[in-house]
Amino acid sequence: MDIPAPWLEFFGRLHPLLVHFPIALLLVATMFEFGRRRARERLPAGGALWCLGLGAASACVAATTGWVRAAVEPIGGDDAATVLQHRWGGVAVAAIAVLTLLFGWVGRSRMAWARVPYRAGLLALALLVPAVGHLGGTLVFGRDYFTEPFTRGDAPKVVEPSVEPAPPAPTNPTVAIDYATQIAPIFEASCVECHGPKKKKGGLALEPIAAAFKGDPMEWSIRPGDASASPLIQRIELPRGDEDAMPPGERDALAPDRIALLRAWIDAGAPRPQATAEAAPDESARSSATNVARSAAALAQRDAVIAKLQASGAFAGPIALDSTDVEVNLALLGMQCADDQLAQLAGLEPFVVALHLSRTAITDAAAAPLATMTRLERLWLDHTAVGDGIVPVLKLMPELEYLNLVGTKVSNAAIPVLGDLPKLKKLYVWNSAMTADGVAALRQAKPQLEVVFDEMPATATEPAASTPAPVPAPTTKHAPCCDKAKADGKVCDHPCCVAAAKEGKLCETCAVDGP
């Protein structure tokens, strides 16, 4: 018979309530047995057997509830190994307690051989119970819970470190919030001691910040795009008397301006340096990033930004009817689109997977806003003034599959970065500052990458002097449908022309020869 999931979860959560009974009873049984003074009392003590019996029974129940809880509420990250050790340690305690009880009963019936394993079992329990209990405490309070009083200094009370007041939260939603200078100091002062590299209370780590965005997005304490739904904000705003309030204990509550800044940061999508010092995200992290910010507030913000972009003459919209992923085309604005126009994309960071910036006025100064587009799969920078200054942000785009750098100033300096992009499949670099030798090195380093380098636009060439035959007048190809759309101030919307334009080509189906 299948047990409903809510009941399983409830049963598992009884573990903290039940686990203290075997700890106390088994240790009392050990002290009861070895605390007897009379040497002639060699039979197992009746009181010790009673405590051992109750302790063995409660140990079995506690181990079962703990196993169920770990199954229905798994803990990942660095605590996974500790959970595994704690689970099997609890099983070992229950098994040894039952066996020791059996030997005690047999020894009580004057079978002397059973008294040795009985007392050996009690000694094993005296050593194992504290060790297994310590593992459980580590999961709740952190690895340095017992040593903290000796390592934090002589102060009898934890005092919040002195930091400069947090900068006020921006009232303009398009103003970027810098994680390093505005958010990280708040976490360092009030959160990292309990939620850092060494201690992860409740399984939450805020240093490095990427650790807070791993696993199931529905279990994140920070919900990008929706501060009100983020458990982190909810607990920060609890009354100080609440046992779940953060920061806990005797620490002072966060100042209102810091809470406002955290709220603004989360509502803006929680932008943070993700890939500067990290490897490409694992599958669960990538899946989490794909599904991030599905809350109503984030989707409403996304739709508002899309409407604003469309009103400005650009294109923005979902890539499919059943998808929340977005494609943005600022190339329609032409040279009117400069670096400062990229600020209009604020709020779309968790959604944008395709971005067209062809033939716009952007420069290397576009690197800052592009650094937040970590989910990009296709990026067009062709025929712009960007150069090697744009290269560092490409490191932050592990999902990038298509990149067009035709007619840019990007040089061979980009080759190491391009070679390290894990999913890059197609790269256009003709008429850029890259050299043939550099492209050859890139092709050798990343053979699966298709690098289009030598498809220069056709140009008329003078006939060689030794060629007696006249050279036919050169012809050019053009698509009448594209010409008409261009004359009307529009972009041709034929599917074949749109697909060809994305690759910087002319649609061969519609093209005709002509002057």
Do 169 and 263 form a contact (C-beta atoms < 8 A)? yes
Instruction: Say yes or no: 227 and 307 in one domain.
Output: no
Which residues, 6 or more positions from 276, have their beta carbon under 8 angstroms from its beta carbon? 395, 396
Instruction: Say yes or no: 314 and 402 in one domain.
Output: yes
Do 371 and 393 form a contact (C-beta atoms < 8 A)? yes
Classify residue 370: in a domain, yes or no: yes
Instruction: Say yes or no: 195 and 309 in one domain.
Output: no
- List the structure tokens of 8: 């399983």
Count of domains forming the chain: 4
* Mean pLDDT score across all residues of the chain: 76
Classify residue 359: in a domain, yes or no: yes
Distance CA 86, CA 489 (A): 69
pLDDT at 158 > cutoff 60:
no
Domain that holds residue 125: 5-141
**Number of C-alpha atoms within 13 angstroms, CB side, residue 20?**
4
pLDDT tens profile 382-419: 999 999 999 888 988 989 999 999 999 999 999 999 98
Compute the C-alpha angle 221/227/230, nearest 5°.
Answer: 25
- Which has the higher per-residue pLDDT, 308 or 298? 308
Instruction: Say yes or no: 233 and 314 in one domain.
Output: no
CA distances from 397 to 67, 83, 417 (A): 40, 34, 11
pTM: 0.37
- List the structure tokens of 246: 């953060």
Classify residue 136: in a domain, yes or no: yes
Mean pLDDT lowest among 87-91, 438-442, 492-496: 492-496
Closest to 357 (Cα-Cα) out of 392, 315, 394, 325 = 315
- List the structure tokens of 189: 């002062």
Instruction: Say yes or no: 114 and 236 in one domain.
Output: no
Classify residue 170: in a domain, yes or no: no
Closest to 230 (Cα-Cα) out of 220, 244, 240, 238 = 220
Instruction: Say yes or no: 219 and 359 in one domain.
Output: no
Do 432 and 408 form a contact (C-beta atoms < 8 A)? yes
Instruction: Say yes or no: 216 and 322 in one domain.
Output: no
pLDDT tens profile 35-82: 765 545 577 777 888 888 888 898 899 888 888 877 766 665 456 677
Long-range residue pairs from 250-256, CB within 8 A, at least 24 positions apart, any chain: 250/157, 250/158, 251/158, 251/160, 251/190, 252/160, 254/186, 254/190, 255/165, 255/166
Q: Looking at this protein, which amino acid is placed at residue 345?
A: L
Q: Cβ atoms within 10 A of the Cβ of 349, count?
A: 23
CA distances from 163 to 166, 180, 187, 193, 207 (A): 8, 14, 11, 15, 17
Closest to 121 (Cα-Cα) out of 73, 74, 55 = 55
Q: Looking at this protein, which amino acid is placed at residue 401?
A: E
CA distances from 495 to 224, 258, 312, 357 (A): 35, 50, 24, 20
pLDDT of residue 328: 92
pLDDT of residue 407: 92
Classify residue 193: in a domain, yes or no: yes
Do 384 and 341 form a contact (C-beta atoms < 8 A)? no
Classify residue 67: in a domain, yes or no: yes
Instruction: Say yes or no: 300 and 433 in one domain.
Output: yes
pLDDT tens profile 358-380: 999 999 998 888 888 888 999 99
